[in-house]
Structure 1
Amino acid sequence: MPLNAGETGFGGVPEGGLAAGVGNSETAPLLIPEPDPEPVNQWQPLSKGELETAAGGPGWRRARCYLVVLFWIAWVSMLAISVAIVVMSPRPVGTSLKWWQRTVYYRLQPDLSTEAQAEGSEGVSGVCERLPYLRSLGIGALILEGVFTKRVFSSNLTETAENMETLAQIQHLLIESNKADLRVVLDFCNVDPLTLQDVAGNLDKLSNHSAAAQHALKFWLEQGVAGFVICDTDAAYSEKTLLEWRSVLEEFSSQEEERIVVVKQTRDVLHPLNGSGQSNVTLVNMVMRSILPYSDHPLSAQEVADAIETQLQTSEEDIWPSWTVGGEAPHDLKRLLLILMMTLPGSPALEYNPQTGQTQSESLGGGLSHRETDEPSDTNRYKQKTKNSATALFTTLSHSKAREEALLYGSFTFLPFNTSSNSSSSSNSTSSSPSSPPILAFLRSWGCVEFLVLLNVGPEPHSLDPAWAPSLPETGVFVASTGMNHLGSTSLYTLKLQPNEAMAIKLLTPGSYS
């Protein structure tokens, strides 16, 4: 029986038999090769001619124009944004200070007696010799204290020969002060013009006394006096009297040369004007305050520290303050108090001590006496070195006060210390006594400029705790110190204050300059 294998034969062999299948299988390739890739043109840089031809086309010209315009638009936009940031950013506005707000005052009580003039040491002639020296130190005004009696202040200034002699001395001092570019302010504290003549009590007499007081004021203003000082306990400290005085002062004042009235505060709180219910005193220019309270005995270091801390924590008032020491402090704290007065907001008023011949800076009054000494040369050299150091301290402080905006009208911030952390940080060197006053500090800021003032009133050294004020810059530059023995830059983390030492440091903010 034949097998019907189909057209292809048995098992699907193609027709023609095995020979045909074998032949076809041998000629057919086992692997089908991939087609050859098409040739790729390799990249070649354009030649100079081709580049010039392509760059000169309209498309490239249009692209270059767009890029140039985009560059200038971006540059002008960045410039405009920078100017807008500078203009719109908050910044302090400089305050236009009057002369009496920029001045360092020197409280002086010259001896007007005939013996003092003959000796030539503490009399008017001796003071006149030292006026150029005082001006070179940075002092701008003198406050003459204790030179007025009832006869001198009387409207009739030519009653007696003694009045004439006293008047001549004061006029000579005014002339010499004007030559040395020093203003003079007369102290009328505890001198009541209403008691200089007999008062019957009727209105006409009172009116005459008011006219007599105004006549006396005009007389001294004509002599070139820059202002007057009264106490807050005087009868002149009243709204009625000060209004009359203000009219006289405005008559002699100008835009450049304003005549002033200073009130010396003798009580803890400045009371409102007599007859005025307003607490804001607008009829006086400046209030002279004492840092230390008056006491019958020298104050201890703790009492000085408490008084200073009380003043630092007292809020500022509208009236421009003037600072003086007031009470008697230990000798070791004289320079510390000088740095404090010169860095507080307001105008410092240094006091001359006629008994010791020294001021708060231990140098200003030393030149007022010309006594020879037979002390050993080593002692003289030590005193001269101390005097030079005190002079350098005061000169540095006065010049810094005159040119640094932060010390003139910068903001004030009291910086309280953490006593426990401060004690622990200084335990490695010297352990602080529990009764030792802590460091007192405050900050004067104006824009990006900051002055840090540190006061160590106690007898123990103190080191700053790094965690005390983390917002402050770490580095600064010494401006002044009580011993004038610190120079150059310093780090607050390694700073150590010696006993009774004070220092003023200008802080350096990273990325800023001043």
Structure 2
Amino acid sequence: MEQTEEPGRMPLNAGATGYGSVAGPRLSASAGGSESAPLLIPEPEPEPFQQWQPLTKEELEVAAGGPGWRKARCSLMLMFWLAWLAMLAVAIAIVVMSPRPVETPLKWWQKSLFYRLQPDLLTEKHAGGSGGLDALCEQLPYLRALGIGALILEGLFDKKASPSNLNATGERFGALPQIQHLLAESNRADLKVVLEVCEVDLLGPQDVAGNEDNTSKLSATVQKYADTFPLRFWLEQGVAGFAICDTDAEYSGKTLLEWKGVFNEFSSEEKERIVVVKQTKDVLLPLKSFSQGNVPLVDVVMRSILPSSQHLLSAKEVAAAIETHLQTSVEDIWPSWTVGGKASIDLKELLLLLVMTLPGSPAVQYDEDLDQVQNVSLKVVSSHRDTNKSSDTHTDEEKKRSVAALFSTLSHSRAREEALLFGSFTFLPFNSSTYSSSSNSTLPSPSPPILAFLRSWGCVHFLILLNVGPEPGALEPTRAPSLPKAGVFVANTRMDRMGSTTLDTLELRPHEAIVIKLFEPGSYS
């Protein structure tokens, strides 16, 4: 009997072919498929670990953009090095083309410190001991230790002496062996000796009167001088040169030409013989017309800072003379400065400092404060005195020590500092100065202005300040705005200033001179 399906009823075997026959991707449609299917889906197994390896050249070229990137990198490196070399070349060109000081090789007489003395002064000081020349021989090592390089012996010959006997009987002090011994000892102490023959009749009597030609007569006199005056004799003894005055008959072109001809026979690079002319007139006779080529017939011209006077010059007169020489341009001939005139004892150290710092070769006059025997005797006397010695004796002893210390400091500073030796010179025209006064006084008395000048070499500057007046003074900061404001003391007249200072706080004492080495803040030049 067939079963009839009623409407709305699901057949019993519908699962085989009907709705229950839906099979999943992992389930089987069979009767046991639901039991064999896994309950959890397993995770995929990790891939095996591969060790890192650098890229090959081909892979690197592919990663870096190929061969074109290599060319670009080489071009960039080439441009970098070319730019660096170009900047280096520009820097070198700036250094080479920029103005800089050129060191001029100086000769021995341009670097030397001349010491003028007369042996009769030593004879008077050492009357109880040896003579003047013997006493001088004993002090030669001491003078060399002070920084002195050459001696100018003044008054060694009698004035108006005959030129033919200057080598044997014309000496004022001792016999010829003593002078030869002095020259030998000076050579041993590395000191040059220059003989002064001012006002000595080297040419002999001249008779140019009459109808004869004066020029031919002068030529005959010059020839006679060349034959009679023993230039060769003294040059063979080791004399470094001769000093004459501009008022002597030898101060002429023809005579000096004869001198140079003889000097060339005995000169060398280290031992060049020189001619020193002491200027006594206000204007020196020009010698350019007497020059032989580029070699001048006169090597050194000795000038005086102060004019000759029978009385002591006042502070204003001294300041005016100093300012006149500071504003005067130096000629081509190498100058040598000396004090010359008379000034008060208060300005003694100030003038010494000025002479030692001016361009040229300083020529210092003999000073008993620099006498070694005087200093030794002073120490011996002081050691045997009572402790209650007078203040004047103590002041004299301190003064002698300060003068010797000032001289030694200036000479050694000049020897090692290019700015003080051959540096440029710049006068600083300070129109006025501010002077301090006590509260009891009203206005300070009129005083000479503070004089100042610079000695410069490259970036090194030395400032020299001179207060000639009797009142203390201070520089106004606006006088030299371009100068460095800081500096260090090198020397002063009392030798009691040390360490650093600034120009806006510096005050000069009466009759004081100071040497300051300027530097920029933070620099160590």
Q: Determine if the TM-score, normalized by the shorter chain, exceeds 0.5.
A: yes
SS at match of 1:326: coil
Instruction: Please name the residue that 1:408 is paired with.
Output: 421
Q: Identity of aligned pairs, percent?
A: 62
Match of residue 135, structure 2, among 119, 126, 129: 126
Give deviations 1:342-385, integer Å, cap 9, x for gaps: 110111001115xxxx2xxx334664884764765555554443
For 1:158 and 1:224, locate their aligned partners in 2 and report how far apart those are by CA, in whole Å. 14
Q: CA deviation at 1:406?
A: 1.6
Is the contact between residue 474 and residue 492 of structure 1 (CA under 8 Å) also seen in structure 2? yes
Match of residue 285, structure 1, among 299, 308, 316: 299
| Structure 1 residues 437 and 90: alpha-carbon distance in aligned structure 2, compared to 1, 3 A threshold | same
Instruction: Please name the residue that 1:149 is paired with.
Output: 158
Match of residue 211, structure 1, among 191, 204, 226: 226
Q: TM-score, normalised by structure 2?
A: 0.77
| Structure 1 residues 466 and 274: alpha-carbon distance in aligned structure 2, compared to 1, 3 A threshold | closer
List runs of 5+ in structure 1 lacking aligned partners: 1-46
Instruction: Please name the residue that 1:92 is paired with.
Output: 101
Q: CA deviation at 1:294?
A: 1.2
For 1:159 and 1:199, locate their aligned partners in 2 and report how far apart those are by CA, in whole Å. 29
Is the contact between residue 143 and residue 185 of structure 1 (CA under 8 Å) also seen in structure 2? yes
SS at match of 1:442: strand
Q: CA deviation at 1:313?
A: 1.2
Is the contact between residue 240 and residue 272 of structure 2 (CA under 8 Å) also seen in structure 1? yes
| Residue range with higher mean Cα deviation, 284-293 or 194-203 | 194-203
Match of residue 399, structure 1, among 403, 406, 412: 412
SS at match of 2:335: strand
| Residue range with higher mean Cα deviation, 325-334 or 377-386 | 377-386
| Structure 1 residues 199 and 474: alpha-carbon distance in aligned structure 2, compared to 1, 3 A threshold | same
Matched, 1:221 2:235: yes
Give the letter for the 1:95 counterpart.
T
Q: TM-score, normalised by structure 1?
A: 0.79
Give deviations 1:461-486, integer Å, cap 9, x for gaps: 11111101111111122211112222
Matched, 1:237 2:223: no
Match of residue 448, structure 1, among 439, 456, 459: 459
Match of residue 310, structure 1, among 316, 324, 344: 324
| Structure 1 residues 88 and 274: alpha-carbon distance in aligned structure 2, compared to 1, 3 A threshold | closer
For 1:455 and 1:120, locate their aligned partners in 2 and report how far apart those are by CA, in whole Å. 40
List runs of 5+ in structure 2 lacking aligned partners: 1-51
Is the contact between residue 286 and residue 322 of structure 1 (CA under 8 Å) also seen in structure 2? yes
For 1:237 and 1:91, locate their aligned partners in 2 and report how far apart those are by CA, in whole Å. 38
| Structure 1 residues 183 and 432: alpha-carbon distance in aligned structure 2, compared to 1, 3 A threshold | farther
Q: CA deviation at 1:70?
A: 2.8
Q: CA deviation at 1:155?
A: 2.3
Note the aligned Cα RMSD (angstroms). 3.6
Matched, 1:250 2:264: yes
For 1:126 and 1:101, locate their aligned partners in 2 and report how far apart those are by CA, in whole Å. 28
| Residue range with higher mean Cα deviation, 409-418 or 223-232 | 409-418
Matched, 1:340 2:354: yes
| Structure 1 residues 118 and 453: alpha-carbon distance in aligned structure 2, compared to 1, 3 A threshold | closer
Aligned residue pair count: 456
Query: Equivalent residues in 2 for 1:136-175 (5 A)?
Result: 136-149=145-158, 154-156=163-165, 165-175=174-184
Q: CA deviation at 1:58?
A: 3.4
Give the letter for the 2:149 counterpart.
G
Give the letter for the 1:289 counterpart.
R
Give the letter for the 2:501 counterpart.
T
Give deviations 1:271-301, integer Å, cap 9, x for gaps: 24699799x9932111111101111111111
| Residue range with higher mean Cα deviation, 443-452 or 231-240 | 443-452
Query: Equivalent residues in 2 for 1:355-366 (5 A)?
Result: 358=368, 362-364=369-371
Instruction: Please name the residue that 2:503 is paired with.
Output: 492
Query: Equivalent residues in 2 for 1:371-386 (5 A)?
Result: 373=381, 377=387, 378=389, 382-386=395-399
Is the contact between residue 457 and residue 500 of structure 1 (CA under 8 Å) also seen in structure 2? yes
Give the letter for the 2:473 counterpart.
H
Match of residue 204, structure 2, among 189, 195, 216: 195
Is the contact between residue 279 and residue 303 of structure 2 (CA under 8 Å) also seen in structure 1? yes
Is the contact between residue 411 and residue 446 of structure 1 (CA under 8 Å) also seen in structure 2? yes
Larger radius of gyration: 2
